[in-house]
A and B are shown apart, each in its own frame.
Chain A
Amino acid sequence: MKIYLKIWRQDSLATAGEMVVYQLDEVSSDMSFLEMLDLLNESLIQKSERVIEFDHDCREGICGQCGVMINGRAHGPLAHTTTCQLHMRSFKDGDTIHIEPFRAAAFPVVRDLKINRHSLDKIIQSGGFISASSGEAPEANGLLISHPVAEAAFDAGSCIGCGACVATCKNSSADLFTSAKITQFALLPQGNIERTERVLAMVDQMDAEGFGHCTNTEACEVECPQEISVLHIARMNYEYSKALLLKRN
């Protein structure tokens, strides 16, 4: 099928970007969306042009490195699907597709569709861990965790860190990302000891990185490839208020 593309090209953060028009005449509906971009890049090389830079790695929906805005939606038209798992059969012959990077102040553009999500690593560095150095762990079955708690912790912990939640939020909030990690550790007994410091540090870091606040539009949950629930945000707010009170006392 024939596909028209309007793709964001930007040399670096220091230069202005623009939408550039391309056309592909022989797109197979079995292709993945990223394979369609591979095809476009192959044609650009033939024309001696610089290729379109985009992030991707595992191409099976788990590494979290891919992610672009497709026709204004993070990861494209399908709900809960990463960009790499989207296929061209979701589009029709003759369609025009707009492709832009995930946009947020905390996600500066590196080049074209590639962005810097280092701010998410910084949030984890501030407290998104349980302090258990190698070698000091007690016997695993010494700590019993009920099936539903383990499953709920898994649901929260399955975040792939792609940043679609931030990109789709009108406030560029990282609340879904941060709250998922806070919930995972708040549910587990191992995470209990550092619970207060963790939530305070992570929320502060989120602000310091320039992410916005949550205004409960719930758009993030719609796009999240791992279907992470916005209820974690409520839990984070609860944990945060409780931590503040505890700290004051």
Chain B
Amino acid sequence: MLDSKIPDGPLADKWDNYKEHVKLVNPGNRKKLDVIVVGTGLAGASCAASLAELGYNVKSFCFQDSPRRAHSVAAQGGVNAAKNYKNDGDSVFRMFSDTIKGGDFRSREANVYRLAECSANLIDQAVAQGVPFAREYGGYLNNRSFGGVQVSRTFYARGQTGQQLLLGAYQALMRQVGSGKVKAYTRHEMLELVVIDGKAKGIITRDLVTGEIERHAANAVVLGTGGYGKVYYLSTLAMGCNSSAIWRAHKKGAYMSGVSWIQFHPTCLPQSGEHQSKLTLMSESLRNDGRIWVPLKPHDDRKAIDIPEAERDYYLERRYPTFGNLAPRDIASRAAKERIDAGCGVGVMKNAVFLDFSKAIKEQGQEKIKEKYSNLFKIYDKINAVNAYEEPMLISPAAHFTMGGLWVDYELMTTIPGLFALGEANFADHGANRLGANSLLQASVDGYFIAPYSIPNYLAGELKAEKITTDHPAFAEAEKTVREQLRNFLTINGRLSADHFHKKLGQLLYNGCGLARSKESLTKTIAEITALRTQFYQDLKITGDEKVNSELEKAGRVADYFDLGLLMCDDALSREESCGAHFREEYQTPDGEALRNDKDYCYVSAWEWKGELEPHELHKEPLVFENVSLTVRSYK
């Protein structure tokens, strides 16, 4: 039975109640306790630094060449906080209800409330670290508004909020490394979780330079390893983003939740050819002044400028007159796909829509538009060699953020005692759709403010536990699994590269379990992935040796993506409703909107691994709403 460990009491008192009754560890005893933190993004770096500040011994791991490279760095827009600096009616409760609604009522009330409650303090923390947030001329912090809410609660540092927040966390981490409280392992990849007597007790890593397989023991293991949108190959994520840490923990007993809930960002640069490796994100803010359209008639090959006004279809304005071009991400992405599938897509691969600034330029003048978006127009020009002041941009939806991840309770602990999951790696706060500027917030709040209470609460019980060393047979066994898998990859000696399989898998998932899914598409995709997976283990080709070998790294990640992809399809198949980013074609209103089913599906699905190619077992955590009423999202 899943126990989410929600504290008693009214919603607004739960977190205080929890903190007031949490177990503590005497400062003198903290240095006897070791914690492993995998990942150095906002969640991992902030958690590692905060625990070290408290006096615990921390080992921090990342696969990049420096902790500062983690993909939190790429977040552009901002970070939300209920400061109500603008005096425009914001409050913790309003931020809570916006987030619950944005997630289409598929997240836990208590978790979301805590996120809103801790948000204000995060801004204080970041400012104290020297994060240069935007300021007004009087010296006060500035805010802007962001997707789907009616208040201005987004703090930002130009278009590089993620970079600046991450540098704050990275510097806090470096301070602890310099003082000897954290040992940093860069270019190290976690390849196995070690579980002893049902508790997480360590990890097996591979040194990506020497190739050495290492054992690391600890009293608790924290995964802040990010999301898995890269499963689609083409995505807004970094090339190295992967699911391997959480997936290997999953195979050791940690349940996965909301697996198929993946947000497609509507304003990305479209794929332009088979060679493409990455879909660059263009900030959502462009939709404030850009109008989205496609030609009215399918297969219209004329240039944008040659298509007269009467033959253009401004489909968002047509379908959602109230919100128009500012409809939320899931809605805007799906509407684009609908038009592209109808044959109205534009661009070389007919996979894009126009984002047109001509009206805004006419009304406001080019200078005004330049002032607001010049850096984005510059990026667009750099990548496409096109001047977007003169012709419309081409944009397309791309896989972006995973709401799903490891199931965690209120303490951010997975179903394996002693294993914690933070940030995008867990499923906790965003339900079936994440609101813009909430991801930086969640990663930071998890690491700075929640883990420093909930992890010591667990560690307090570890003081009297038997000290585990890496000589334990469980370490030897986990190491053996890792060595066998690596040897296997190097000896298959087939014909095709890991990238080849990754691209194929991504295509299958995009078509069958992407922006829209159906029983038919999912069943077909499961069969196709299973066949491709079999081919992968027969026909994979890895050249090079066991030392520095990026192909060997990719092979392990792609192997995990196959199993994850299958679970994504199972998860989507089992949920016979549409909610947030999960759009089942069978469950829609007559005018094509998502049709939620609260009677039968108001629960969190938590999947238990049962073995290689065995069906997972589904566990359900019912969602109880006491403070908001379940309503239908409408943006008409």
* A-to-B contact residues, CB < 8 Å: 12, 28, 30-32, 34-35, 38-39, 41-42, 44-45, 48-51, 53, 55-65, 81, 85, 87, 89, 110-111, 114, 116-118, 120-121, 124-126, 128-141, 143-147, 149-151, 153-154, 157-158, 160-161, 184-185, 188, 190-191
Q: Number of A-B pairs whose CB atoms are under 8 Å? A: 223
Residues A111 and B548 in contact, CB atoms below 8 Å apart:
yes
Residues A59 and B278 in contact, CB atoms below 8 Å apart:
yes
B541 within 8 A of A: yes
Which of B172, B186, B548 touches A53 (beta carbons < 8 Å)? B548
Residue tally, chain B, CB below 8 Å to A: 81
Q: Which label, helix, strand, loop or mixed, suits the secondary structure of the A interface?
A: loop
Residues B543 and A48 in contact, CB atoms below 8 Å apart:
yes
Which of B133, B175, B276, B385 touches A89 (beta carbons < 8 Å)? B385
Q: Which residues of B contact A63 (CB under 8 A)?
A: 64, 69, 71, 73-74, 238
Residues A56 and B239 in contact, CB atoms below 8 Å apart:
yes
Residues A28 and B273 in contact, CB atoms below 8 Å apart:
yes
Residues A55 and B139 in contact, CB atoms below 8 Å apart:
no
Q: Which residues of A contact B530 (CB under 8 A)?
A: none
Residues B74 and A129 in contact, CB atoms below 8 Å apart:
no
* Measured CA separation A120–B67 after assembly (Å): 11
* Measured CA separation A1–B347 after assembly (Å): 22
B93 to nearest A CB, angstroms? 20
B254 to nearest A CB, angstroms? 26
One digit per residue, 1 when the CB lies within 8 angstroms of any chain A CB and 0 when it does not, for chain B 58-100 equals 0000001111110101100000000101000000000000000
Smallest CB-CB separation from A157: which chain B residue?
Answer: B132
* Measured CA separation A28–B50 after assembly (Å): 48
One digit per residue, 1 when the CB lies within 8 angstroms of any chain A CB and 0 when it does not, for chain B 111-141 equals 0000000000101111111101111111111
Residues B128 and A130 in contact, CB atoms below 8 Å apart:
yes
Within 8 A of A (CB), among B432-454: 448-449, 452
Q: Which residues of A contact B158 (CB under 8 A)?
A: 154
Q: Which residues of A contact B134 (CB under 8 A)?
A: 150
Q: Which residues of B contact A44 (CB under 8 A)?
A: 543
A137 and B74 contact, Cβ closer than 8 Å, known pairs A85-B383, A145-B139: no
15 A–B contacts from the bound complex (CB under 8 Å):
A41-B551, A45-B497, A51-B550, A60-B281, A62-B160, A65-B64, A114-B548, A121-B68, A121-B174, A129-B129, A132-B128, A150-B133, A151-B135, A154-B164, A184-B132
Residues A124 and B53 in contact, CB atoms below 8 Å apart:
no
Q: Which residues of B contact A185 (CB under 8 A)?
A: 130
Smallest CB-CB separation from B348: which chain A residue?
Answer: A30
Q: Which residues of A contact B133 (CB under 8 A)?
A: 150
B163 within 8 A of A: yes
A144 and B277 contact, Cβ closer than 8 Å, known pairs A57-B71, A65-B69: no
Which of B138, B239, B448, B541 touches A134 (beta carbons < 8 Å)? B448
B317 to nearest A CB, angstroms? 30
Residues A51 and B383 in contact, CB atoms below 8 Å apart:
no
A59 and B277 contact, Cβ closer than 8 Å, known pairs A53-B550, A153-B132, A188-B132: yes
Smallest CB-CB separation from A42: which chain B residue?
Answer: B497
Q: Which residues of B contact A114 (CB under 8 A)?
A: 65, 548
A138 and B124 contact, Cβ closer than 8 Å, known pairs A57-B239, A60-B278, A125-B178: yes
Residues B277 and A51 in contact, CB atoms below 8 Å apart:
no
Residues A49 and B543 in contact, CB atoms below 8 Å apart:
yes
Residues B163 and A160 in contact, CB atoms below 8 Å apart:
yes
Q: Which residues of A contact B138 (CB under 8 A)?
A: 144
A177 to nearest B CB, angstroms? 12
Q: Which residues of A contact B128 (CB under 8 A)?
A: 130, 132, 136-138, 190
Which of A35, A51, A116, A147 touches B137 (beta carbons < 8 Å)? A147
Q: Which residues of B contact A48 (CB under 8 A)?
A: 541, 543
Within 8 A of A (CB), among B126-183: 126-130, 132-141, 157-158, 160, 163-164, 167, 170-172, 174-175, 177-178
Q: Which residues of A contact B124 (CB under 8 A)?
A: 137-140
Q: Which residues of A contact B83 (CB under 8 A)?
A: 140-141
* Measured CA separation A138–B65 after assembly (Å): 34
A156 to nearest B CB, angstroms? 9
A90 to nearest B CB, angstroms? 10
Q: Which residues of A contact B53 (CB under 8 A)?
A: 133-134
* Measured CA separation A34–B130 after assembly (Å): 34
Smallest CB-CB separation from A49: which chain B residue?
Answer: B543
Q: Which residues of A contact B140 (CB under 8 A)?
A: 141, 144
Residues B175 and A125 in contact, CB atoms below 8 Å apart:
yes
Residues B132 and A129 in contact, CB atoms below 8 Å apart:
no
B308 within 8 A of A: no
Residues A57 and B238 in contact, CB atoms below 8 Å apart:
yes
B528 to nearest A CB, angstroms? 23
Q: Which residues of B contact A111 (CB under 8 A)?
A: 209, 547-548
* Measured CA separation A140–B128 after assembly (Å): 8
A228 to nearest B CB, angstroms? 13
B182 to nearest A CB, angstroms? 10
A141 and B85 contact, Cβ closer than 8 Å, known pairs A49-B543, A64-B69: yes
Q: Which residues of A contact B209 (CB under 8 A)?
A: 110-111, 116
* Measured CA separation A120–B167 after assembly (Å): 13
Q: Which residues of B contact A53 (CB under 8 A)?
A: 548-550
* Measured CA separation A128–B177 after assembly (Å): 12
* Measured CA separation A62–B163 after assembly (Å): 8
Q: Which residues of A contact B240 (CB under 8 A)?
A: 57
Which of A116, A128, A149, A153 touches B171 (beta carbons < 8 Å)? A128
Residues B71 and A132 in contact, CB atoms below 8 Å apart:
no
* Measured CA separation A185–B139 after assembly (Å): 17
Which of A65, A128, A143 touches B174 (beta carbons < 8 Å)? A128
A196 to nearest B CB, angstroms? 16
Smallest CB-CB separation from A112: which chain B residue?
Answer: B548
Residues A58 and B141 in contact, CB atoms below 8 Å apart:
no
Smallest CB-CB separation from A120: which chain B residue?
Answer: B66
A201 to nearest B CB, angstroms? 9
